[in-house]
Structure formats: C-alpha cells, structure tokens
Amino acid sequence: MNIIVTGGAGFIGSNFVFYMLKKHPDDRIVCLDCLTYAGNLSTLEPVMGHPNFRFVKDDITDREAVYRLFEEEKPDMVVNFAAESHVDRSIEDPEVFLRTNILGTAVLMDACRKYGITRYHQVSTDEVYGDLPLDRPDLFFTEETPIHTSSPYSSSKASADLLVLAYYRTYGLPVTISRCSNNYGPYHFPEKLIPLMIANALNDKPLPVYGKGENVRDWLYVEDHCKAIDLIIHEGRVGEVYNIGGHNEMTNIDIVKIICKELGKPESLITYVADRKGHDMRYAIDPTKIHNELGWLPETKFADGIKKTIQWYLEHKDWWETIISGEYQNYYEKMYGNR
Ligand code: NAD
Ligand code: TYD
C-alpha cells in the first residue's frame, strides 16, 4: 500500500507517520508538506532515512505539483492532515485558511479522481459542530449534529467536509471523514493551549487563560487519534463520517492547574486575559459509532497522557525552544502583548 500523508510535518500528521511506519512496515508513506510555520522537518528526522518513507516539500494548493506527485507515486490512499489549524490565527487572518483548508482539499480530491485511489480520508474536527452550552452536560456531538461553525477556522474545515461529501455523491470518490476532539501529546506546536502552558511554566512566564477559563474541551491523546484513523481507512465504510473523542472533558483552568502541579510551578503564574472572539464554550464527542462499527476506544487516560506529554517536553527542549526563539516571538507579542 502506498499512502500519501499530507501535513505530516505537523503535530498529528507526524505522529501518524511514525505510527503507520511501525504498525504497517510493508506500507510506503509519502509525506507531502509545504512546511508552513507549523511544519517542522526536524520532527521527521527519525524516519528520513527509512526505506519506506519519502518527504516531498510542496503545497497542496499547487495543482501541478500535486498531480506530478500522483503521477510519480500512484498512491492507493490519501490521508489529508494538511491545514491551517489555529483558531486564533484564523481570527486575525482568515484567507490562508480558506486557501489551504478548502481549495487544498479540492485539489487533492481532483488528483484522486484523475489518477484513481481506493480511499481519500479527510481529517476534520469536532469544531464543525459549533459548541454546546455548559449547563447541558447531557448533550454531545454525534455525526448527525448539524454543522454550525463559529470561527473562520471551523468554517473552513466544515466547507472542506461538505466538499468531500459532495465528491462522494457526485463523482463516487471513495471518501471517509473523521471529526476529532482536541489532541495533545508530543510535537504539539507551542501556540496551542497545553504546550504553550508547559513552555511558559518552565520559563516562569505568565500563563494566559482566556476569559474565565471555564471553556470545556474533550482531550484525546494523539496516538489514540492515529489508531482511529488507521482503523477508518482500512475498515471504515466509504461515504461515512466518524466522530473520534476521548470522553475526557476538562475546563481550561483545570488543565492549566494540572500542568502547574506536575511541574511544581505556582498557580500565581496564571493570568486571566481578554477572551477569544466568538469563543466556543464546550466541545464533547459521542464516539458510539466508531466504537460500535470499528471497536475503537481511547486507550490513554488523561492522567497518564498528560504526564507522558510533560515528560516529552522536558526531554525535547531543543525541539520547542528552537521554535519559540524564532518568528514565534513576533506572533506571541502580537497575540498576547496587549491582551
Ligand atoms: P498543525 O498545524 O500542527 O500541522 C499542519 C501541517 O500542515 C504542518 O506541517 C504544515 O506545514 C502543513 N501545511 C499547512 N498548509 C499546507 C499546505 N498548503 N500544503 C501542504 N502542507 C501544509 O496541525 P495539527 O494540529 O497536526 O492538525 C492536523 C489536522 O488535524 C488538521 O486538518 C486539523 O484541522 C485537524 N485536527 C486537529 C486537532 C488538534 O487538536 N490539533 C483536532 C481535530 C482535528
Ligand atoms: P487551542 O489549543 O487553541 O485549541 P481550540 O481552540 O482549537 O480548542 O485552545 C484550547 C482552549 O484553550 C480554548 O478554549 C482556548 C484556550 N486558550 C487559552 O485560554 N489560552 C491560550 O493561550 C490558548 C492558546 C488557548
């Protein structure tokens, strides 16, 4: 099996590349990534010399480059992780989100139609369902929950999902979609909540909690997400959407307090800052479908996953210190300087 994995130099994509090379040693993995600020070639260092791995630096919106790669590789499957993924950046500048997340998806699927594949898998997000109220803990997102987005990021992901389903119905492209809750784990870019708080706490810097810190996310260890996608591309039904979630809802403030405790840092570092515009209150996935159809269940408990994650950041300071010492400083100043 020859699989193109787009966005494989980012957080979840790189974890997926590692997982697949180990789990399916006979498969070939071709990573297509244009290395935006969020893509990091050093992350893929351990597999660069692997005989069944190839890295290609190209943009998924570049039709010519994508067709050339399909011509060369004749892939059996495509798993699309490539995206602009940060809600705060989408609020500052939506355009690149529309280009990569929507147009890029269309280009990849056009290539799939032209050259033929057995599966196109779209990695999507629970954010396409909008948010749930804090006072209705009985409500969860199912695959039937209507699309109802809040941010330019989630709107671009929802648009891509609709296109994927349209390519299934119109052209019969063999697609699947997974909609996952918030991931955490190794190689998570330090602009996101958990790695940002770990890095700041280790540097004794303020921990910027948006609003009151009451917003709830459903956290899933990244390897559990990779396992779910592996199951879907091999055993999932074509044309179907599968929700993936950890049944692990936590408020942001509780997460930050756990990080302080694990690192032995004082909670006085916590600083409440201006809220995110249009901030979603609560995400919560009902993963019954993927459990019943494919037998998937999250395996890593949050208490263990967060310890492993913190340990990883302690042991891989070079990886994130290089990132936060560069262009990221301008980003941080812009987003948090006067907040
Ligand atoms: P990330 O931002 O860490 O990585 C994105 C990767 O895509 C980077 O390597 C980047 O260089 C690459 N990329 C961006 N634009 C590209 C383009 N035009 N052409 C080629 N490559 C490009 O993102 P992530 O957190 O790993 O998320 C991966 C996917 O999973 C995204 O589609 C995201 O919407 C989805 N998702 C993420 C989460 C989460 O918690 N992080 C949850 C659910 C779904
Ligand atoms: P984030 O990691 O950006 O993921 P998403 O917005 O896709 O869920 O943020 C997770 C939650 O943490 C979200 O409610 C916003 C909040 N947050 C903060 O309070 N402070 C921060 O500095 C960041 C980056 C996020």
| Closest ligand to Cα 104 | 1
pLDDT in tens, 188-243: 999 999 999 999 999 999 999 999 999 999 999 999 999 999 999 999 999 999 99
pTM > 0.85: yes
Q: What is the pLDDT of residue 339?
A: 87
Whether residue 281 contacts residue 246, with contact meaning beta carbons closer than 8 Å, is answered with no
Please give the mean pLDDT across all residues of the chain. 97
Cα(90)–Cα(154) distance, integer angstroms? 9
Rounded Cα distance between 254 and 306, Å, is 12
Cβ of residue 196 lying under 6 Å from some atom of ligand 2: yes
Q: Is the CB of 197 under 6 A from ligand 2?
A: no
- How far is residue 215's CA from residue 211's CA, in Å, rounded to a whole number? 9
Question: What does the alpha-carbon distance between residue 286 and residue 50 come to, in Å, rounded to a whole number?
Answer: 37
pLDDT of residue 47: 98
- What is the reported pLDDT for 95? 98
Span 253-272, mean pLDDT?
A: 98
Q: What percentage of the chain carries pLDDT values higher than 70?
A: 100
Report the separation in Å between the CA atom of 83 and the middle of ligand 1, taken as the mean of its atom positions.
4
**pLDDT bucket at 156, cuts 50 / 70 / 90:** very high
Residue 302 pLDDT class (50, 70, 90 cuts) = very high
Q: How confident is the model at residue 338 (pLDDT cuts 50, 70, 90)?
A: confident
253 lines ligand 2 (CB under 6 A): no
Q: Half-sphere exposure of 40 toward its Cβ, with a 13 Å CA cutoff?
A: 22
Mean pLDDT of 33-43: 97
Ligand nearest to the CA of 179: 1
264 CA distance to ligand 1 centroid (A)? 32
Residue 232 burial class via C-beta count within 10 angstroms: exposed 0-12, middle 13-18, buried 19 and up: buried
Residue 54 DSSP label: E
- Asked if residue 191 has its Cβ within 6 Å of ligand 1, the reply is no
* Residues 6+ positions from 81 with CB-CB distance below 8 Å: 5, 6, 7, 8, 10, 12, 13, 16, 123
Please say if the pLDDT value at position 315 is more than 90: yes
Angle ∠(18,19,24) on CA atoms, nearest 5: 110
Task: Average the pLDDT over 63-76 and give the result.
Answer: 98
The encoded tokens of residue 306 equal 């967060």
pLDDT attached to residue 74: 98
Contact 225, 187 (CB under 8 A): no
Over 90: is that where the pLDDT of 304 sits? yes
Contact between 58 and 75 (Cβ < 8 Å): no
The closest of 2, 126, 107 to 58, measured between CA atoms, is 107
Cβ pair 70, 115 in contact under 8 A: yes
DSSP-assigned letters across all residues of 133-191: -TT-TT--B-TTSPP---SHHHHHHHHHHHHHHHHHHHH---EEEEEE--EESTT--TT
Å from CA of 6 to ligand 1 middle: 9
The token pair that represents 4 in the structure block = 């193109």
Instruction: Report the pLDDT value the prediction gives residue 107, as an integer from 0 to 100.
Output: 99
Task: Give the number of whichever ligand sits closest to the CA of residue 206.
Answer: 2
6-10, 170-174, 245-249, 289-293 — which is least confidently predicted? 245-249
Instruction: Establish whether residue 117 lines the binding site of ligand 2, counting it when its CB lies within 6 angstroms of any ligand atom.
Output: no
Reported as a single tens digit per residue, the pLDDT across 162-186 is 999 999 999 999 999 999 999 999 9
List 153, 167, 184, 221, catalytic entry: 153
Q: What is the mean pLDDT of residues 285-296?
A: 98
**How many CB atoms are located within 10 Å of the residue 111 CB?**
23
Catalytic status, residue 126:
yes
What is the full DSSP assignment across 111-130?
HHHHH--SEEEEEEEGGGG-
- Residue 326 pLDDT: 86
Q: Is 127 a catalytic residue?
A: yes
